[in-house]
């Protein structure tokens, strides 16, 4: 008998006779069935779990889901166990999924998308009120009831109580990557906000036919979720602010259920969207403050790379994506990508580096008496405690990219740096240096693009970044949320390092750093961007532009 043929000879729990198979996913197989006790058609989901504690846990979680009563949540009639295998008995919703409808009829218009979104928000709100996260909100798990148009959120098969992680006990990835939030990609615990990110991706799919994070490989998907610029589809029209709010990478700033419901309710009834009230984000400084010389007693080697000049290499975002593919054992990548969600500030690129190319193991040098008077030049993180020097001579400006010939992106200019490289930097950024590194710094000193070029050290970029990470707490007060991802740049071995720390001053507040280094022709290139946490969007854009345009010279 084929898997799709009716299984009329199978009766579970003494009352549910299985019929044809309706669908199959990673977490279970769904059968149409007849409840012989009550004489009604039902859907029965056979869970793909093990025995013992795993099966018991699945049943317990299914019973919790059964307590959710909402018109847009599939009704769970029963939770049973038969021959050691758990089953969930649900209402049978006549009609296909949203994925089926998109495949057959094409994308929805903004009005229908808003109606679907509003229904799903109600379903998620009811689930979250009971402490249940769906964790797999996607078009295939949204049913569209024929004849009534009722929207039903189903397949809570991987739902967990709030506080669970994305990696199962067996190390498997839980959920659908194209609809999974950045914080869950980290393997970190996730809250209700993670379901709202998934809803934002689903709304984009409803408007266009596919997730905005769809790529040709799993590594590409992971990179897109964590790094790529998020552009709501043009089809979103007036729903664009809502989608932007749901696809905010920082879960603390993501739109909440109540806010999103208010916006969609207004749109469904009036055809227009009121102003978006963003969810309160983390405390930020009132404004970017100039960074004074580091206080005596410590040397926050901003962007210190452990390997001799762990140069965070200019890598295009596309290449980084490819690199993640190579580095991917799903659980490993998920963990590695973790830090990317917050894009923490790294001490990588200009790190304390020994003359041999390895990171210095000695104490971090204290600030020089000739520390820069401008916030543009951070304290030196080099191997030797030489004085920081500000270079006033600007780098030559190139009208176009020296290799591709393309004009600089809007708001940027190409510079041919005298230290042997070229890249695009924002208009108005000025060049400074210390004894080991080159910086391009914003007018207010708050955002710094750093570049370091050294001889390639033993162990390569990954070893360099790991050593930098080990020295992070001593070099950066409040060092936290760090992650290192092995990757490639232009097909060459590379490493991506991110972290956050307390910043130079209390007035400025915490900072994040993005840092990429790679080996090329016997040299290690390290490129990083450091910025206050309140300006991460700017920083990410500058980081991408620098990596996409970087060209070694000589």
Residue positions annotated with a catalytic role: 136
- CA-based nearest residue to 396, from 379, 420, 367: 420
Q: How far is CA 478 from the centre of its chain?
A: 22
**Other beta carbons less than 10 A from residue 99's beta carbon:** 18
Which residues does 148 contact at the CB level (< 8 Å), separation at least 6?
Answer: none
Six token digits for residue 344: 């923490």
Q: Round to whole Å and give the CA distance between 173 and 170.
A: 9
Query: Is residue 529 helix, strand or coil?
Result: strand
DSSP bridge pairs for 152: 143
26 DSSP assignment: S
**Other beta carbons less than 10 A from residue 347's beta carbon:** 32
**158 in Cβ contact with 135 (< 8 Å):** yes
- CA-based nearest residue to 468, from 443, 426, 498: 498
* 365-389 burial code (b ≥16 CB/10 A, e <16): bbbbeebbeebbbbbbbbbebeebe
310 backbone dihedrals φ, ψ, rounded to 5°? -55, 95
Q: Could you give the C-alpha distances from 364 to 62, 300, 397, 512, in angstroms and in order?
A: 54, 8, 35, 20
Task: Give me the count of residues in the chain.
Answer: 554
**43 in Cβ contact with 30 (< 8 Å):** yes
């Amino acid at each position: 008998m084929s898997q799709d043929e009716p299984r009329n000879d199978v009766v579970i729990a003494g009352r549910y006779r299985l019929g044809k198979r309706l669908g199959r996913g990673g977490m279970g197989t769904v059968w149409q069935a007849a409840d012989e006790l009550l004489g009604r058609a039902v859907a029965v989901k056979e869970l793909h779990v093990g025995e013992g504690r795993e099966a018991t846990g699945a049943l317990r979680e299914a019973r919790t889901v059964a307590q959710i009563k909402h018109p847009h949540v599939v009704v769970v009639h029963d939770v049973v166990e038969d021959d050691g295998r758990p089953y969930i008995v649900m209402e049978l919703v006549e009609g296909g999924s949203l994925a089926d409808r998109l495949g057959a009829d094409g994308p929805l218009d903004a009005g229908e998308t808003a109606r679907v979104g509003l229904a799903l928000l109600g379903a998620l709100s009811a689930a979250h009120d009971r402490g249940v996260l769906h964790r797999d909100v996607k078009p295939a798990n949204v049913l569209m009831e024929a004849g009534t148009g009722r929207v039903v959120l189903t397949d809570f098969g991987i739902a967990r109580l709030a506080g669970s992680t994305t990696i199962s006990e067996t190390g498997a990835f839980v959920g659908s990557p194209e609809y999974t939030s950045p914080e869950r990609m980290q393997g970190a615990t996730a809250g209700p906000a993670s379901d709202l990110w998934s809803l934002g991706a689903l709304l984009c799919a409803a408007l266009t036919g596919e997730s905005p994070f769809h790529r040709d490989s799993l590594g590409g998907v992971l990179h897109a979720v964590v790094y790529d610029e998020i552009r709501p589809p043009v089809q979103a029209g007036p729903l664009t602010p809502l989608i932007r709010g749901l696809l905010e990478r920082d879960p603390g700033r993501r739109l909440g259920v109540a806010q999103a419901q208010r916006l969609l309710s207004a749109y469904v009834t009036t055809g227009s969207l009121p102003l978006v009230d963003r969810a309160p984000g983390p405390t930020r400084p009132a404004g970017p403050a100039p960074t004074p010389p580091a206080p005596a007693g410590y040397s926050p080697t901003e962007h210190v790379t452990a390997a001799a000049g762990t140069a965070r290499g200019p890598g295009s975002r596309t290449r980084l994506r490819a690199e993640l593919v190579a580095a991917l054992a799903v659980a490993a990548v998920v963990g590695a990508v973790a830090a990317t969600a917050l894009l923490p500030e790294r001490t990588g690129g200009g790190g304390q580096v020994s003359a041999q190319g390895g990171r210095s193991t000695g104490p971090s040098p204290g600030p020089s008496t000739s520390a820069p008077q401008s916030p543009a030049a951070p304290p030196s993180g080099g191997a030797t405690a030489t004085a920081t020097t500000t270079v006033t001579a600007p780098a030559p400006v190139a009208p176009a990219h020296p290799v591709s010939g393309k004009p600089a992106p809007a708001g940027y200019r190409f510079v041919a740096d005298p230290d042997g490289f070229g890249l695009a930097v924002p208009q108005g950024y000025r060049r400074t240096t210390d004894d080991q590194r080159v910086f391009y710094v914003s007018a207010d000193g708050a955002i710094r693009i750093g570049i370091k070029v050294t001889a390639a050290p033993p162990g390569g970029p990954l070893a360099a970044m790991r050593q930098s990470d080990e020295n992070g707490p001593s070099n950066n007060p409040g060092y936290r949320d760090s992650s290192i991802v092995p990757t490639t740049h232009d097909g060459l071995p590379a490493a991506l390092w991110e972290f956050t720390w307390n910043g130079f001053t209390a007035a400025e507040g915490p900072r994040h750093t993005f840092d990429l280094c790679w080996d090329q022709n016997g040299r290690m290139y390290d490129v990083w961007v450091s910025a206050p946490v309140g300006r991460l969007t700017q920083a990410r854009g500058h980081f991408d532009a620098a990596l996409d345009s970087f060209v070694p010279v000589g």
